[in-house]
Structure 1
Amino acid sequence: MFSQFALHERLLKAVDELKFVEPTPVQAAAIPLALQGRDLRVTAQTGSGKTAAFVLPMLNRLVDLKQKRVEIRALVLLPTRELAQQTLKEVERFAQFTFIKAGLITGGEDFKEQAAMLRKVPDVLIGTPGRLLEQLNAGNLHLEHVQVIVLDEADRMLDMGFSEDVERLCNECPNREQTMLFSATTGGAGLRDMIGKVLKEPEHLMLNSVSQLAEGTRQQIITADHNQHKEQIVQWLLQNETYEKAIIFTNTRVMADRIYGHLVAKDYKAFVLHGDKDQKDRKLAIERLKQGGAKILVATDVAARGLDVDGLDLVINFDMPRSGDEYVHRIGRTGRAGNEGLAVSLICHGDWNLMSSIERYLKQSFERRVIKEVKGTYTGPKKVKASGKAAGVKKKKTDKKGDKKVAAKRKPTAKPKPNAPLASADGLAPLKRRKPAPAAE
């Protein structure tokens, strides 16, 4: 029960209103330590409830402060606009019975309107690093009174090249008392470097090892001959699988638009989401998917983070993601909050090694699936058998009594006769010997 936590009564009222009963494992592990003011480094599966794990302690720190709202007191950094918007909604839901106000700063929105919002000084500021730095450089953002910083999806921010931006924003908060870093994967050396720079004696919470991620999701691969064959498989899956909502991931915007066009031509209710879409279209696509106005979303990895949609139970990787961490975030869109999901990856000849490396990274073996109606010729790499005969060496023999094998001696290569014709470079015709040039007089 959430009442076991030392949370303010106004926050517990919101938790009760939102029908939160049992805390998830990440909430049970992180909230007590966060309430003590400890720095945290938390690795937890996507969809495990980690947003509430940092929002509730953060709001608890701010809820009883008596001073007027004259400075930003909490900063939440996230990699994408969609995730930032989702986090803003969560903060507003949990703060509904308090006087705490939150603001949002992301790209794709009017810069001057954001500057006007900052002049009202929200208690909690949520945003993406790039636009926050732009407002900071313009003199519109002041962070010297920030008490708590949250870095959510920190591994993704590093992948997107925000490492220096995140460090600078953290350095602009010299008086912070607590920093919490959350991610769905363990990341690499870059993440460890950031942890060393921005966290002070952090408590490490590993709620899921990589091999435990997405346990509620069936993971399958289907081999394909080429992209046109992949499109046929996608059509079959959408027609024959049982799903409420589906998302199809591609690696490029061009391919996302192509698949979307084919789906619309076949009267599917679909939307497309990628970096070329303006903020208004991106909001519309996600809202339509959430409200049921569309059943299918075609997207690049811009949608792999921060997309929390009820009933999203089918993920199709038209293109294999470029890393194991990205794969985890893609399939984390389904099988959320204990529900079951299905993730299908389409594998051509050029995808096999990448798929195998992701299997090794996850320490899992994906289910191989064949659909006879759209079966192709490619079934994976051919196994090459050892021939047992080396060039120019005869196989070793053994007598009936089991005596030691005796290797046959290689016959010496015959030397060409002095006057024999020489072979040409391509071995097709002999070359004529040139007569020696006459000696110089």
Structure 2
Amino acid sequence: MTKFSDLGLSPKVLKAVEAAGYDTPTPIQADAIPPALEGRDVLGIAQTGTGKTASFTLPMITKLSKGRARARMPRSLVLAPTRELAAQVAENFDTYAEGSKLTKALLIGGVSFKEQEQLIDRGVDVLIATPGRLIDHFERGKLLLTGVQIMVVDEADRMLDMGFIPDIERIFEMTPFTRQTLFFSATMAPEIERITNTFLSNPVKIEVERQNTTSKTITQVLVRGDSRRRDVAFKDKRAILRALIERDGEACKNAIVFCNRKVDVDVVAKSMKQHGLDAAPIHGDLDQSQRTRTLDGFRDGSLRFLVASDVAARGLDIPDVSHVFNFDVPSHAEDYVHRIGRTGRAGKLGTAYTIAVPADEKYLDAIEKLIGHPIPAGDNPLGGGTGGDAAEAEAPARDEKPKTRSRSRSRGKPRDEAPAQATAEAVEVPAPAEAAPAEAEAPREEAPREQRSSSGRGGRSRGGRVRTGGGDDRGGARVVGLGDHVPGFIEMSFAERRETEGVRG
């Protein structure tokens, strides 16, 4: 069996590794460390939780043991996609560099520029940074990358995502062509791998496990809800989440709950707290100090549930996470591998629940195609139906009448009701002759509106019939008005009035 002492690491590094409690390297460490020590470019692909951070940290410390850093010119550079992952790499460096005189600086957002600049001015051997903050320092003239000997891109698939490519290309242009480059990730899509070929020179490709596989120590369970409406599904999924936690009881000692959107992270965390569950949110919109406190609380056990966006899905090594809940099915299939990889680490057992609704089918298909097998189905703790279908079945009935009323112009009565009644009254009950003079007053006053009757509003048409709000041109029944029953002298007075008004116009 291979031991760390067989890999060619320096005595000080071996002593630090032993002090950390490790003696046997993981497969990715055993395969990646030797070529990294030789100065070869490395493309390492392995499951999350297999020790990829040590695969580049240990050889980097060994190689940098000779030499000295100059002000504003770091000797090595590690790029990470998130602040939390960058901070974790820095912690690993502190652990494995124990006893050496190597220095480091952590450049991430949410921290004072001044403190970071002071560290850079003294000179650092290892610079660990997120791309945005690194470029900020470079543009301020506080940093030079011409002395970089080793460059590492951690979580390379995410770093080379479309949003990061311009920044990564610019950073690579700042570094010497002779640098050594190491890429590590749990997933590597073919199109992303083609991009890495532009940055790596004849790399050693190390693929410990089949790409995009999930750990066998993780029990995966798919729980389905039946709600199709988004608002109903969101409420039902919160109920399912609480029921799953209650059902697993003490076995669920802590968990990370993943949501796709930051706003949903806040809502779910608040809902869990209202139901007596100790939960706190973490996502990119929170202050760095708050994110750090929340993450530290989850690590030391004072916080039971961490509700997170994918900011916590990549590379974070949080020991003894018993459960992962995918409150939302990830829209990127690769994120599923990273999310559930937060549990079942270092050979320990873990459980990963995924809560899905009918709208998630295309995402589930992509995930199952990526991991090479279907996610095992589990029982809905609420007994199957979550009430979503019933709500949807009732929704059309509730919505149908208000929609009809809103389109009607018959003053609050359905359009197919008022005209029909008016027609029946006009045909079956003719207006008495003696009532005609009194009723004729209204048409006499409305006569000037004849020109506007074509717009669909109430008025008298030229045929003498009264139009209601529906009108013939809107599909309603036509109302027979006074024009068919008035005495001749009234009809003559109307004609004379029209002629008079025509002359005046």
Normalised-by-shorter TM-score class: 0.7 to 0.9
Alpha carbons of structure 1 residues 191 and 378: separation in structure 2 relative to 1, 3 Å? farther
Structure having the larger proportion of residues in helix? 2
1:415 aligned residue: none
**Which of 275, 279, 282 is residue 284 of structure 2 equivalent to?**
275
Aligned-pair CA distance for 1:233:
0.9
TM-score after normalising by structure 1? 0.83
- Aligned pair count reads 378
Tell me how far 1:272 sits from its aligned partner.
Answer: 0.5
Unaligned stretches of 5+ residues in structure 1: 381-441
For residues 130 and 32 of structure 1, the distance between their equivalents in structure 2, rounded to whole angstroms, comes to 32
CA deviation vs aligned residue, 1:160-215 (integer Å, no higher than 9, x gap) = 6111111211221115431101111012424422x222111101111121363222
Q: 1:322-361 residue pairs with structure 2 within 5 A? A: 322-361=331-370
Match of 2:213 in 1: 212
CA distance in 1, matches of 2:388, 2:156: 37
Counterpart residue type for residue 367 of structure 2: I
Residues 146 and 175 of structure 1 are in contact (CA less than 8 Å); yes or no, is this contact kept in structure 2? Answer: no
User: Is the alpha carbon distance of 1:246 and 1:41 closer, same or farther for their aligned partners in structure 2, counting shifts above 3 Å?
Assistant: same
Q: Distance in 2 between matches of 1:205 and 1:199?
A: 14
Contact 1:148/1:176 (8 A) holds in 2: no
Aligned-partner SS, 1:336 = coil
From 263, 268, 277, the counterpart of 2:272? 263
Q: Is the 8 A contact 2:155 2:315 kept in 1?
A: no
Letter in 1 for 2:128: I
Pick the aligned partner of 1:237 from 218, 237, 244: 244
- CA shift for structure 1 position 372: 4.8
Which residue number corresponds to residue 394 of structure 1? Answer: none
Structure 1 residues 108 and 47: CA distance shift in structure 2, 3 A? same
Between stretches 104-113 and 21-30, larger displacement belongs to 104-113
Which among 363, 382, 389 is matched to residue 372 of structure 2?
A: 363
User: Deviation at 1:291?
Assistant: 0.5
The one-letter amino acid of 1:313's match is: S
Indicate whether 1:313 and 2:314 are aligned: no
The residue aligned with 1:131 is 133
In 1, Cα distance between equivalents of 2:141 and 2:346: 42
Contact in 2 for aligned 1:147/1:175 (Cα 8 Å) = no
Amino acid at match of 2:216: E
Q: Residues 104-253 of structure 1 correspond to what in structure 2 (within 5 A)?
A: 104-159=106-161, 161-174=163-176, 176-193=178-195, 195-210=196-211, 212-224=213-225, 225=227, 226-241=233-248, 242-253=251-262
Cα 1:374/1:119, change in 2 over 3 Å: farther
Deviations 1:259-295 (A, max 9, x none): 1111111222211101111100100110000001101
2:21 & 2:7 partners in 1: Cα distance? Answer: 16
Higher relative contact order, chain-length normalized (CA < 8 Å, sep 6+): 1
**What TM-score, normalized to structure 2?**
0.72
Question: Aligned partners of 1:376 and 1:74: how far apart in 2?
Answer: 56
Q: Note the C-alpha offset of 1:378.
A: 9.2
Q: Aligned to 1:338, what secondary structure does the other structure show?
A: coil
CA distance in 2, matches of 1:305, 1:362: 17
Which residue is 1:61 aligned to? 63
RMSD after superposition:
1.7
Question: Could you tell me which residue of structure 1 aligns to residue 418 of structure 2?
Answer: none
Contact 1:26 1:49 in 2 (8 A): yes
Q: Deviations over 1:4-39 (max 9, x none)?
A: 121111111101111111100000000111111110
* Identity of matched residues, %: 38
- Where 1:367 maps in the other structure, the secondary structure is coil
Q: In structure 1, what is the Cα distance between the partners aligned to 2:388 and 2:220?
A: 17
In the other structure, the counterpart of 2:452 is none
> Based on CA coordinates, which of the two structures has the bigger radius of gyration?
2
**What secondary structure sits across from 1:75 in the alignment?**
strand
What is the Cα deviation at residue 244 of structure 1? Answer: 2.3
Residue 476 of structure 2 is matched in structure 1 by none
Take 1:232 and 1:378, find their aligned partners in 2: how far apart are those partners?
11
